[in-house]
Amino acid sequence: MLLIIGLGNPGSEHAHQRHNIGWMALDRIHQRNRFSPWKARFQGITSDGQLGGTKCLLLKPTTYYNESGRAAAEALRFHKLTPSDVVVFHDELALEPSKIRMKSGGGSAGNNGIKSLEAHLGADFRRVRIGIGHPGHRDMVHGYVLHNVPKTDLVWLDPALDALADHAALLAEGRDDLYMNKVTLAIRAAGAPFDQED
């Protein structure tokens, strides 16, 4: 079983903010892959389904972003999973908008949601890092991440969310490199204004 977690904040006022891109990704996976209706569970909202023949649970923690690890740990314990069974979608200040990268393990880079997950699960989970750029100074970060995604970013974000959802079966197969390649090509094809190469 694969546990797929999206980081974000509950409430309609947060729905379109940069900090909720993880939730946006899970919503798109849910819409395009015939998952069950959302229901409250594990201090979050969950949905069951399959990707590439692998049973998956989508989890949107409702503990607020910085306490996401509490919900994740509850789901892990119930299903007797390990951190290697977890994929997390989240916004990433260290990547420019339209850049999307994956990694397994590593540090939090100051992301409090990831810090919470690491505190509760350990660091050995997979991360889909969705670039939102950095405002330029750390004192500006709080307001920046809680600001709505600008319309100029929708040229890459909407096709990226589609690609993240449409190729999600590759995550269940552990083919992370191919997954990132497919998503990157979709963003390029949509005319994203940023170079996808590092």
Domain of residue 144, CATH code: 3.40.50.1470
Span of 6-15, 16-25, 59-68, 131-140 with lowest mean pLDDT: 131-140
Least confident of 82-86, 113-117, 118-122, 135-139: 135-139
- Count of domains forming the chain: 1
In this structure, the dihedral spanned by the alpha carbons of residues 196, 162, 90 and 63, taken in order and rounded to 10 degrees, is 170
Quick check: 47 pLDDT over 50? yes
Strands 126-131 and 86-92: parallel
- Is 53's pLDDT higher than 50? yes
Q: Does any domain span residue 194?
A: no
- 93 within 8 A of 109, measured Cβ to Cβ: yes
Determine, yes or no, domain membership for 177. yes
d(CA 142, CA 162): 27
Task: Give the pLDDT band (50/70/90) at residue 76.
Answer: very high
Residue 193 confidence (pLDDT) above 70? no
- Residue 197 belongs to some domain of the structure: no
Q: What is the pLDDT of residue 192?
A: 66
Mean pLDDT of 118-130: 94
182/164 Cα distance (integer angstroms): 9
pLDDT of residue 196 exceeding 60: no
Range in 86-90, 134-138, 160-164 the model is least confident about = 134-138
Q: Assess if residue 150 is contained within a domain.
A: yes
Residue 196 lies in a domain: no
Average pLDDT for 170-184: 93
Does a structural domain hold residue 18?
yes
Q: Catalytic residue, from 14, 19, 30, 167: name it.
A: 19
Whether 19 is catalytic = yes
- On whether residue 41 sits in a domain, the answer given is yes
Domain that holds residue 122: 2-189
Residue 195 falls within a domain, yes or no? no
